[in-house]
Amino acid sequence: MDRQQEYVLRAMEERDIHFIRLWFTDVLGILKSVAIAPAELEGAFAEGIGFDGSAIEGFTRVYEADMVAVPDPTTFQLLPWQGERHGTARMFCDIVTPDGAPSPADPRFVLKRALKKASDMGFTFYTHPEIEFYLFKSGTGRSTNPLVPLDSGGYFDHTARGLTNDFRRTAIEMLESMGISVEFSHHEAGPGQNEIDLRYADALSMADNIMTFRTVVKEAALAEGIFASFMPKPMGEHPGSGMHTHFSLFEGDRNAFFDAGAEYELSKTARSFMAGVLHYAREFCLITNQFVNSYKRLWGGAEAPNYVCWGHNNRSALLRVPMYKPGKPQTARVEFRGMDSAANPYLAFAVILAAGLKGIEQDMELPPEAEDDVWALTDAERRAMGIDPLPASLAEASAVMGQSELAAETLGEHVFDFVLRNKRQEWSEYRAQVTAYELERFLPIL
Amino acid sequence: MTVSLPPDPQTGGRFVSQEAAYARAGFADGARAGRVAQELAAEGFDLDPAAFAQVADPDGALLALARIAARPEAQEHLVAIIRDQRAQARLLAVLGGSIALGDHLVRHPEHLAVFLEPDVLPDAAPAPEDAGAPPVDEWPGEDMQVVPTAAQWAARAALLQAVGADPAAEVPVAATPDLEPLRVEYRRQLLALAAQDLASPTPTELFPQVGAALADMATGVLEAALAIARRQTPGHERARLAVIAMGKCGGRELNYISDVDVIYVAEPAGPDVPEQEALAVATELASALQRACIAPAKEPAIWQVDPNLRPEGKNGPLVRTLASHKAYYEKWAQTWEFQALLKARPAAGDAALGRAYYEMTRPWVWAAVGSENFVEDAQAMRRRVEEHVPPAEAERQIKLGRGGLRDVEFTVQLLQLVHGRSDPSIRAATTLKALATLAAGGYVGRAPAARLAACYRLLRTLEHRVQLHRLKRTHLMPTAPGELRQLARAARVAPPEAEQLEAQWKATRREVRGLHEELFYRPLLPETARLSAGEAQLAPEAARARLTALGYRNPEGALQHIAALTRGSTRQAAIQRQLLPVMLGWFAKGADPDAGLLSFRQLSESLGATPWFLRLLRDSAGAARALSHALSASGLVAQGLARSPESVAWFDADADLVPREAPELNQELSAILDRSAGDTKAGALAVRALRRRELTRVAAAMALHRLDDGAARFAVSEITTVALEGALRVAWEQVLAEGAEPLTSLAVVAMGSFGGHEMAVGSDADVLFVHRGGDGEHEAAAQAQAVAVAAATMQLLSNIGPEPPLEIDADLRPEGRNGPIVRSLAAYQEYYERWALGWERQALLRARPVAGDQALAARFMALAEPVRYRPEGLSAKELVELRRLKTRVERERLPRGVEPFRHVKLGPGGLLDVQWVAQLYQLRHAGQYRSLRVTGTIEALEACVEEGLMAADDAALLIEAWLQGMSIRNGNALWTGKANSPNNNLVPSERRALAGLAALMGYPAGTASQLPEDRHRTARRARAVFDRLFFD
């Protein structure tokens, strides 16, 4: 038993914790939880907790279903909404096979493997997401029971009714109490839409944090009698929920993206990284935008970036270079705006990192900056400028990723195979729908 | 005074006798020596030539003395020294052993006073005879590694005072930023140490104390350099910085000149200091410390401070907090990094922080052995270091070359890490002390430990002497005879000659290499198997720990095998005691050490009494190594050898591990069958025994990576042909035994993988039987006879019995299982002309005559020609039929419950996908392109590329997947020994089977989990090509 594990066992006693939740994430990014009693914990550290993986999306197929969850003691945290007395704590788990090898289906392992590659090249990968989501008073979104947003505020509005502010305060307090630093929070453009930015951290911790964040936000909303959703595009007429994320690579304590005096203070490394991300953006789109609904956000207007290009102060660009803050070389970074709030953060960070590293390895050339509003250009103009669109639908994204060696290599063959099969299935189910749109438009006239 | 050139030597006879005296004292140029000595004598320094008799380089010493004597400040000291015999000997030893220290004395004649001072080290105690190192209780315990000794304090105090810092202060700060005073004082201490070392008649015995003193001086230098750094760094008090010594400095066994390895750890000085600020200050301090040691100044640099053992190496931040170190070691550190921590010791700076770091890291060092592949990782690291040595240096490297110092340290550290987890008494960071404690604890034999210690002392002494010469960081033995002679004198080799030194150096290297096995494996032998009294026998717990660390999964079982093999007073047991320690290491390198050892025991038990077996293994290191490797790599080889133990002899001769040609085998077989004529049972057994023996040969060659897969597939197919031919002959004998007349003749045509020369070890053989047919009224009788012969052939080969069976599969005949097992040529002709189905045409693509009536076979091939190679290719209807058949095979034959990609034959991108693409192209185009008329899959695909029918990239992906699939299939058979199991088609999911397969396929140890991933990738790509080529 190492010291970290001893610390957890001691903390369990000292803080009178009665339950411990072991968390892990399935391939689609849905949080899974197993609760165990404190007495089981020592065994869980030593041997893990066995479970049948066949019921978990993407984990295994029936014939090799046995999986073992091994808690990572460095992720030990009290769950603030479970009360102070007889509290509940959580730890994230690594998933291994019964003989102890990392499970190729574990998204956390996929990210760890990508980070290992970065580390072999001398890099640490930092991320900083801006997570958008909606708060609703009620509704299911069906025509009989429409969604009722919590408020009708807009971008940066201070909503007078205050419930939104209360909610944000509760949520942020919970997050901070779990060691997740919040940098910024504000009302977003849609009614009931909010954004909370997390302070940058290494990619693995951040992916854990995002999983925690989603749970905390949902719990905090329930506590206020409302509900929260990270669905990419819950209402057709209002903006979707994106997860713009800032990325940077560090070599030791030095920001490898920074180069004083270069254009936008961006180093050669940063430019190659960006080139790689742009080069592969279409191929990994299925991971950063993984649901049928994701493509409603990308192609539903309201400033969602859907063309593969980069810019400095260009809101229409997929990859944006934020304004450099003089004297702060550590903050040099690039912002990827394509991802939505429903992505599996482990897999999404892994593919973006892998694409960027390929750019660095192959010394890719960054295409010219897009200075125009790319949405205002005609298709022909965009073609002339070599600006490709992101896939238009889940079907197209699946087809493009199916040809991607980068995605296969980064996700591992198992996850790659599963995601493709799962997404083809999702598309064929979706295609079988008869939508309200069709009924309204065609039933009367046909 | 200047030394002017002496007068012409021809002028006086007096010089002649003096010249001889100098020559006798070891001078190379007696004449010049005489002249210089005369000059010196004129100055009042009269030296007896005999005083140089023990000096490494008398000529150099004398010249250096003349240069020093030219300094007016030297006069007084020199007079005193020359009057004092001890001081004089010390001075001459230094001048003859180190040009650099001579230069220093020219610059600082005041340091001549050193030679009149008492020795800095206590007299070297003679080494105890049985351990080669001082007794254990003379060494401080593990905890004492962090408590400075009096000598350490003294060195530190003098160095701090030199820079004007207060040695008693908690945070000493230098009074001056100048670098010179530190360097001058360091050289003075070095001079005092070298004086005693070089003048010592027994330097190998003094060595441990010299190494410790050098390490103490180094920590003093680090402290003083830090004091200078503080002086140069404003706000230095905001950070606490500890310098941790690593490597030889950490182990208190430093060289005269080498990089001093360190790691820095820092914390804010108080709660009000932000961590970032403290780290920035500490980084500045550390950089300034390093500069103080190495930056150019009037006095030469001290040595390089090397901080690259830190987390993330060169790329990592120079300074980390305790928490940051902890996070790194818990998450990212590799085996060797924990091994390196074994030597860590707080050296300078904040003592409490250093101690905290030391205590934090201890448990990790001793837990490292628990990590997977620990020994393998460590050995791989050692090999990498070895491979890094430039080839030109490899034979001269005292430190890194084979049999060099690093080998000694590696052996000792490995043993410490394996056993230190449960026994704190062997955790010392100093190599010699660790070795002594290992011997005292019974982990290694006392006698071999003493021999290893002696080797280490000699190598280190040589290294010290080489470095002292110019105070340069070098670990190379000189090559020039003159320099070798100097070194021999400096190291007090007896007799002090170049040849003697060279011989001793070579013998030492050889001995170090052998001692690794001696120390590591011999103590695993039981008490009763001791060769001499000085040997260790491990306690059961320790033996288990060692075997487990080596990768034995069942250490108890292994110990029993070892005991059984070495028990008793027979000659066999005596030889086993010699052999086994080495072989245990070789088994451990294989994928299944336990199975290797068990098989070896079985072999030994069945062959023990034969005189040649153990003699062969004892006298041929190559044979023993190859046998160990093959036994632990392949169950099939172990089984095969158990059936014919005499085959062990193959491992001694490379030529015996080459598959034998078919004609040679045929000849051997027919000689045997001639002898057994009439006894069909004995004949059949002989055929099968021959086949088993030859398959074992192929398997052994493959397990040793001496035969590539393609050659192996060909060889297996050839062996099958020979066996069939033999069985056919015996079958005829059986059928004609009752005096029947032969009414027809028979030929065997190979089909399937047999036809394609693509058989795996143990594959079924697909065949067609054809007979000539009788005349008129004999037609039916001839058919009956042919059926009897064919059935007998199949039965003789596949009967249950002591030899492994060869399944003969004739299901590809017309009408499949419903058709007669053999047809006449005419019947084939009629059938194929009227009824041939798509799958039959496809099957005929692989037809190749192999046995029986050759003329008949040729006629069969001629009639098959138009059936398989039709000029019109495939009709649209036939094409659809073929494609549908493939999809049906896929749906129906893939076993349930198997992940499709794991199945290398029927799964996506599997062998079948590739074969069917090749056959589709052949069916369509072979009528037109003669080059496509081949039976092999790869040849067919390559021909398609040649003819421009298929893109080279597509064919390459298909071929890659096919080769990989075949090699997985073959590897499974080799590993499990179950030559004909359907599971051989699966990428194993069980970890050990996967490791065994991966090792056979040439994956480095520890990378087996890559194999399923690689297979999946290759198969996915091949499947995409198949989808395109087969259906479009």
| pLDDT tens track for B301-334 | 999 999 999 988 887 889 999 998 988 888 777 8
CA atoms within 13 A on the CB side of B568: 9
CA distance B775 to B777: 6
Among the partner residues B899, B991, B1013, nearest to A63 by beta-carbon distance? B899
| pLDDT tens track for B372-403 | 667 777 777 777 777 778 888 888 888 888 88
Q: Do B330 and A122 touch (CB under 8 A)?
A: no
Q: With an 8 Å Cβ cutoff, is A253 touching chain B?
A: yes
- So what's the pLDDT on residue B777? 74
- So what's the pLDDT on residue A6? 81
| pLDDT tens track for B686-717 | 999 999 999 999 999 999 999 999 999 999 99
| pLDDT tens track for A261-291 | 888 888 999 999 999 999 999 999 999 999 9
Stronger pLDDT, B619 or B931, i.e. the higher one: B931
Express the helix, strand and coil content of chain B in percent, nearest 5 each: 65, 5, 30
- So what's the pLDDT on residue B16? 47
Q: Do A413 and B1016 touch (CB under 8 A)?
A: yes
- The pLDDT confidence band at residue B239, using thresholds 50, 70 and 90, is very high
Distance from CA of A217 to the nearest CA of B (A): 29
Q: With an 8 Å Cβ cutoff, is A251 touching chain B?
A: yes
CA distance B116 to B87: 5
- Fold exhibited by the domain B870-1032: Four Helix Bundle (Hemerythrin (Met), subunit A) (1.20.120)
Residue found under tokens 């199949």: B794
- The pLDDT confidence band at residue B592, using thresholds 50, 70 and 90, is confident
Distance from CA of B1013 to the nearest CA of A (A): 6
Q: With an 8 Å Cβ cutoff, is A413 touching chain B?
A: yes
- So what's the pLDDT on residue A293? 94
- The pLDDT confidence band at residue A65, using thresholds 50, 70 and 90, is low
Q: Average pLDDT for residues B778-797, to the nearest whole number?
A: 90
Q: Which CATH superfamily does the domain covering B372-538 fall into? A: Nucleotidyltransferases  domain 2 (1.20.120.330)
Question: What number is the ipTM of this complex?
Answer: 0.79
Q: With an 8 Å Cβ cutoff, is B990 touching chain A?
A: yes
Q: With an 8 Å Cβ cutoff, is B362 touching chain A?
A: no
pLDDT over 60 (residue B137): no
What the block records as the tokens of A33 is 């939880």
Interface test with A, best of B1016, B1025, B1028 (most A CBs within 10 A): B1016
Percent of chain B with pLDDT over 70: 95
CB contacts < 8 A, A to B, total 48
Distance from CA of B334 to the nearest CA of A (A): 12
Mean pLDDT rounded to a whole number for chain B:
87
Q: With an 8 Å Cβ cutoff, is B323 touching chain A?
A: no
Distance from CA of B316 to the nearest CA of A (A): 5
Q: Do B312 and A412 touch (CB under 8 A)?
A: no
Strand, helix or coil for residue B259 = coil
- So what's the pLDDT on residue B12? 44
The answer to whether domain A3-99 and domain A113-437 are alike in fold is no
What the block records as the tokens of B243 is 């310098």
Give, in degrees to the nearest 5, the angle at Cα B589 between B583 and B594. Answer: 70
pLDDT over 70 (residue B650): yes
| pLDDT tens track for B892-925 | 888 887 888 999 999 999 999 999 999 999 999 9
- So what's the pLDDT on residue B135? 37
Q: With an 8 Å Cβ cutoff, is A120 touching chain B?
A: no
Q: What is the CATH number of domain A3-99?
A: 3.10.20.70
| pLDDT tens track for A359-385 | 999 999 999 888 778 887 888 888 888
Among the partner residues B312, B897, B1017, nearest to A408 by beta-carbon distance? B1017
Whether residue A68 contacts residue A101, with contact meaning beta carbons closer than 8 Å, is answered with no
* A-chain residue closest to B364, CA distance: A2
| pLDDT tens track for B712-767 | 999 999 999 999 999 999 999 888 887 788 889 999 999 999 999 999 887 889 99
pLDDT over 50 (residue B848): yes
**Which residue in B613, B697, B615, B694 sits closest to B654, CA to CA?**
B697
**Which residue in A352, A395, A406, A346 sits closest to A27, CA to CA?**
A346
Q: With an 8 Å Cβ cutoff, is A66 touching chain B?
A: no
- So what's the pLDDT on residue B553? 86
Among the partner residues B367, B372, B897, nearest to A63 by beta-carbon distance? B897
Among the partner residues A3, A64, A252, nearest to B989 by beta-carbon distance? A64
Q: With an 8 Å Cβ cutoff, is B553 touching chain A?
A: no
Distance from CA of B295 to the nearest CA of A (A): 25
Instruction: Give A-chain residues touching B1013 at CB under 8 angstroms.
Output: 104, 412-413
Q: With an 8 Å Cβ cutoff, is B899 touching chain A?
A: yes
Among the partner residues B315, B330, B363, nearest to A251 by beta-carbon distance? B315
Q: Do A122 and B1020 touch (CB under 8 A)?
A: no
Interface test with B, best of A6, A54, A63 (most B CBs within 10 A): A63
Q: What is the CATH number of domain B658-868?
A: 3.30.460.10
Residue found under tokens 């067609």: B768
- The pLDDT confidence band at residue B596, using thresholds 50, 70 and 90, is very high
Residue found under tokens 């961006």: A266
pLDDT over 60 (residue B7): no
Q: With an 8 Å Cβ cutoff, is A237 touching chain B?
A: no
Q: With an 8 Å Cβ cutoff, is B316 touching chain A?
A: yes
pLDDT over 60 (residue B880): yes
* B-chain residue closest to A72, CA distance: B331
Instruction: Give B-chain residues touching A99 at CB under 8 angstroms.
Output: 990-991
CA distance B841 to B845: 7
Q: With an 8 Å Cβ cutoff, is A376 touching chain B?
A: no
CA distance B936 to A360: 43
Q: With an 8 Å Cβ cutoff, is B1017 touching chain A?
A: yes
Cα torsion B223, B229, B234, B237 to 10°: value is -20
- So what's the pLDDT on residue A157? 65
| Statement: B149-371 belongs to CATH 3.30.460.10 | yes
Stronger pLDDT, B349 or A253, i.e. the higher one: B349
* A-chain residue closest to B1011, CA distance: A413
Least confident range of A380-394, B191-205, B363-377: B363-377
Domain spans in chain B, listed from the N-terminal domain onward: 9-116, 149-371, 372-538, 658-868, 870-1032
- The pLDDT confidence band at residue A188, using thresholds 50, 70 and 90, is confident
Distance from CA of B257 to the nearest CA of A (A): 30
Whether residue B817 contacts residue B811, with contact meaning beta carbons closer than 8 Å, is answered with yes
**Which residue in B850, B678, B674, B666 sits closest to B751, CA to CA?**
B850
CA distance A15 to A18: 9
Mean pLDDT rounded to a whole number for chain A:
87
- So what's the pLDDT on residue B13? 41
- The pLDDT confidence band at residue B11, using thresholds 50, 70 and 90, is very low
Q: Do A61 and B899 touch (CB under 8 A)?
A: yes
Percent of chain A with pLDDT over 70: 94
- So what's the pLDDT on residue B1? 38
Which secondary-structure segment (H or E) carries B562? helix B555-566
Whether residue B279 contacts residue B267, with contact meaning beta carbons closer than 8 Å, is answered with no
- So what's the pLDDT on residue B4? 42
Q: Which CATH number fits domain A113-437: 3.90.1170.50, 3.30.590.10, 3.10.20.30, 3.40.50.1820?
A: 3.30.590.10
**Which residue in A56, A32, A51, A41 sits closest to A1, CA to CA?**
A41
Q: With an 8 Å Cβ cutoff, is B334 touching chain A?
A: no
Whether residue B176 contacts residue B292, with contact meaning beta carbons closer than 8 Å, is answered with no
Q: Average pLDDT for residues B286-301, to the nearest whole number?
A: 92
Q: Average pLDDT for residues A195-207, to the nearest whole number?
A: 90
CA distance B179 to B228: 8
User: Which residues 756-775 of B are in CB contact (within 8 Å) with A?
Assistant: none
Cα torsion A355, A356, A357, A362 to 10°: value is 90
pLDDT over 80 (residue B102): yes
Cα torsion B66, B68, B69, B70 to 10°: value is 90
| pLDDT tens track for B168-188 | 888 999 998 899 999 999 999
Q: Do A409 and B312 touch (CB under 8 A)?
A: no
Q: With an 8 Å Cβ cutoff, is B482 touching chain A?
A: no
Instruction: Give B-chain residues touching A63 at CB under 8 angstroms.
Output: 897-899
Whether residue B423 contacts residue B441, with contact meaning beta carbons closer than 8 Å, is answered with yes
Distance from CA of A253 to the nearest CA of B (A): 6
Instruction: Give B-chain residues touching A97 at CB under 8 angstroms.
Output: 991
Q: Average pLDDT for residues B206-212, to the nearest whole number?
A: 90
The answer to whether domain B372-538 and domain B870-1032 are alike in fold is yes
| pLDDT tens track for B210-221 | 999 999 999 999
Q: With an 8 Å Cβ cutoff, is B50 touching chain A?
A: no
- So what's the pLDDT on residue B142? 47
Domain spans in chain A, listed from the N-terminal domain onward: 3-99, 113-437
